Structure 1
Amino acid sequence: MDKITCVCEDSVDGIFTAIYKAWEIGTSKTSIEVKGMKTMTLFTEYIEVKTDSELAAKVAASIHNKISQEVYLYIYRASLSDNPDKAQYIYEFLLKAFRIGKDIIHYLQDESVMKVFELARKVGNEAHRYLGFVRFCELENGILSAKINPLVNVVSIVAQHFADRLHNENWVILDTTRNIAAVHRDGYGFILTNNISEQDLNRFSNKSENEEKYQLLWNRFFDTIAIEERKNKKLQQQLMPLRYRKYM
C-alpha cells in the first residue's frame, strides 16, 4: 500500500491538526509535511489537511496531560523552525513520547528526539537574541511599533515577553520576512495576524514628531561620546551582527 502524507499549513495548529488526522488514518502508513516545504515523491498519496483549531487543541491537551508541559514547549518551539522536515520530526517524536511519557526528554540518542530538541534550541536562541534587539518606535497615532526580520518564526515568543512587560501599552511587532504580526491592546493579550500587506507595513512606519526628535538626540549622543581611536568594528559586529541592525 502506498504511504499517505498529510500536508498541512506552516503553523502550530496546522501541524497538530495533521498529527490528529494521521493518527486517525493509522500511524504505520502516514507521515506529515508542511505545505510548500518539500517536493512531492512517487508512490505517495497526499492529503491536504485543513487547519482545525479544535483538533489542534485536543493534541495540545494530550501532550500537556499525558506527557508534560516541558515536552509541549520543545514541540511548540520546534514547530516554529524553518526546517522542511520539522512536522515529521515532531510526529515521530510524539509517537514515542506517548509510549514513554515525560522521560522522553532523556532519550537524546534517538534521532527524532535529538532533532526536535535541536530545532527548539535554535528557535529559542533566536528569540532570546531578539528580546534584547527589538526596538519600538512611537507612531503618529501613539501606537508603539517594532519591525524584525528573524531567521525563524519567533514573533509569538517575543510578543509574549513584551506582553508581560508592556501590558499597559498598545503595540505591534511585525515580522517583515513572513508578513505576520503580533498586535497588543492596552490591558489585553496579543493576537497574531497573517498576510500583512505592504500597505500595512507602510502604515506602521509613520513616526511621531517626538520619536523623530529622540532618535536624532540618540544619534548625536552616540557620535559625541564615541572615541575615534577606540573604534572596533569587528567587535561591534560580534556583539551586534549586521542582520539585526536593519530596524534599529
Structure 2
Amino acid sequence: MNNTNITNKTIYLCDDTIEGIFTAIYKAWDNNPKTTDVRIRSSSSSLSFFESYVETDTDYELALKVHNTIIRKLSWDIYFYIYRTALSYEEERASYIYSFLKKAFKTGPAIINMLHDDDVLKIFNIDKQVGRESHSFLEFVRFEELANSVLVSRIEPKSNIIPLISEHFADRLHCENWIILDTGRNFAAIHEASKPVFFSYLTESELANFSVLSDTEKGFQNLWKTFFDTIAIKERCNPKLQQSNMPLRYRKYMKAENNPGHV
C-alpha cells in the first residue's frame, strides 16, 4: 500500500482566548492554509498519527494583525460573529473560525449571507446560541452584598458570556463596586465604581473572600424566603410551568428559586 499521498496535517494548539486563537490562525496561515488547522489546547483533545502538533504561545501583536485584517477586509459585523463564536463552549470553535476565515478572505463580506455553506452556517448558529444565552443571563443575574459592601453575582453559563453582559451592568450599576463571576471558569468581570470593567481569572484564595455576606444581605435573604413561603399556594404548585419560565440550570445561584417548588 502506498502511503506517499497521505498528508500530515499540522495542528496549532492555542490558548482559550480570542487572542490565542488569532495567534494560532496567523501562524497556521503563514505555514500553509491547506495543510494546517487550529485547535484550543486541551487535555481532552485526542491525538492522531496523521497530525503533528505545534504549541502556540499567545502573541498580542500577531492577534491584533488578524483582528485588523478581519475588520478591514470583511466587516465589523463579521468580526463580532467570530468573536462570539470564540466565546462559545463548542470544542472545535477555533477550527470552525479558521475554516470560515479561509473562505471569507476569498469571498469577501458577502460570505455572511452564504448560509448554504456548512462553515458559514456553523458560525451563524454558534453566534445565535451564544447571543441567546447572554440575553437570558441579563435577566437572571442576581447580586449579593458582601461584608465589604461589594456586590457579587455567581453564574455558571455554558459559554464565556461575561464579556458580553458586563457593559449592561456597568451602565446600570455605574456607581457600585461589583463582580460577576463565572464559577465554571473562575473568570470574572470586575467593576470599581465609576471606572471601566476589567476581566481577570481569580485564584482560590480570592474566591474565598466571596463567602462572607453583609448582615443587611442576610436579613433581606431571610425576609424574602419568609415572604416566598408565606404567599405560596400548594394547590397551585406547577413545576413544569416553573421550569419552562426558568430552566433549572439558571437557578443554582438564585436564592429564592432554590427554595423548592412554588410558582
1:175 aligned onto 2:192: no
More displaced stretch, 226-235 vs 168-177? 226-235
Aligned to 1:17: 23
Question: d(CA) in 2 for partners of 1:187 and 1:58?
Answer: 32
Aligned residue-pair number = 247
- What is the one-letter code of the residue matched to 2:245? L
Equivalent residues in 2 for 1:71-220 (5 A)? 71-194=78-201, 196-220=202-226
Question: d(CA) in 2 for partners of 1:138 and 1:153?
Answer: 24
TM-score by length of 2: 0.89
Aligned to 2:13: 7
Question: d(CA) in 1 for partners of 2:191 and 2:219?
Answer: 25
Instruction: Name which one, 1 or 2, has greater alpha-carbon Rg.
Output: 2
- What is the one-letter code of the residue matched to 2:250? Y
Q: Which string of whole-angstrom CA distances, capped at 9 and with x for unpartnered residues, describes residues 168-207 of structure 1?
A: 211111111111111111122212112x233322211211
| SS of equivalent to 1:204 | helix
Give the superposed CA RMSD: 1.4
TM-score by length of 1: 0.94
- In 2, are the aligned partners of 1:38 and 1:84 still within 8 Å (CA)? no
Task: Give the one of 58, 67, 79 matched to 1:60.
Answer: 67
Identical residues among aligned pairs (%): 48
Mark the runs of 5 or more structure 2 residues left unpaired by the alignment: 1-6, 255-263
| SS of equivalent to 2:211 | coil
More displaced stretch, 63-72 vs 36-45? 36-45
- In 2, are the aligned partners of 1:8 and 1:18 still within 8 Å (CA)? yes
Aligned to 2:228: 222
Mark the runs of 5 or more structure 1 residues left unpaired by the alignment: none
Q: Which string of whole-angstrom CA distances, capped at 9 and with x for unpartnered residues, describes residues 5-24 of structure 1?
A: 11101111111111111121
**TM-aligned CA deviation for residue 43 of structure 1:** 2.4
